[in-house]
Amino acid sequence: MPRVLIIEDDRAVREGLRLALRRQGHEVAAAPTGEDGLEQVRSFRPDAVVLDLMLPGMSGLEVCRRIRDRDQIPIIMATARGDDADVVVGLEAGADDYVVKPVRARVLDARIRAVLRRVGGPPAAYGPPAAEHHGDLVLDRAALTVTHQGEPVPLGPSELRLLLTLSAAPGQVFSRQQLLEAVWEHSYHGDARLVDACVKRLRAKLGESSDRPRYVQTVRGFGYRFGSRWGSR
């Protein structure tokens, strides 16, 4: 049974989501503040966190950053405005996905289950489990680990799945919509900000410059591709 933590200051929203997610088969804990939420992360050990951006005291963005400093638990932000600049900031802080309030329980349940599938790695169609060497970057599809210059790279579920998706076909250009469908399982015309923010986080963790990235390269007007000049072995 998936363990979900809701961090939401509005009592009615918090309790409504807790009851709805329990009916969907989740084990649910809830916290009204960021401080309480961080304590629940340590004690409850959730599989996923649903995090309100607008929290009293410690903001949702700060909570997101603090979780990311020590853990790769999937985080789904809840925001009052889908076009708010806070969405981009939240995604760049480490959130894996977002939903717009008022949150529909079935949509949230689908997003939670999708992000938990991402923790399990890419579909088998992406190739046989094997360690691949791309210059200084080593991807182990069986162990779902990434090392760069011999050091482990701690990636969140979306970052890992994005990297494994792109690297499965070096040189192939993926549109943002294709990546939304492959990584986030958004089959509708989705939000490209999810992809762009995840690419920015991934590049930062790989120590890449956005001007001349070696691995995750931008193809202007189309999308992204994985650098293919080394090949793989």
pTM: 0.82
In the predicted model, what is the mean pLDDT of the chain?
A: 88
CA–CA distance, 193 with 191 (Å, rounded to integer): 5
Domains and CATH numbers, the chain: 3-119 (3.40.50.2300), 124-226 (1.10.10.10)
Asked if 91 and 197 touch (Cβ cutoff 8 Å), the reply is yes
In this predicted structure, what is the pLDDT of residue 83? Answer: 63
Which tens digits make up the pLDDT trace of 153-171?
999 889 999 999 999 899 9
Asked if 55 and 42 touch (Cβ cutoff 8 Å), the reply is no
SS3 80: coil
In this predicted structure, what is the pLDDT of residue 24? Answer: 92
Is residue 231's pLDDT more than 60?
no
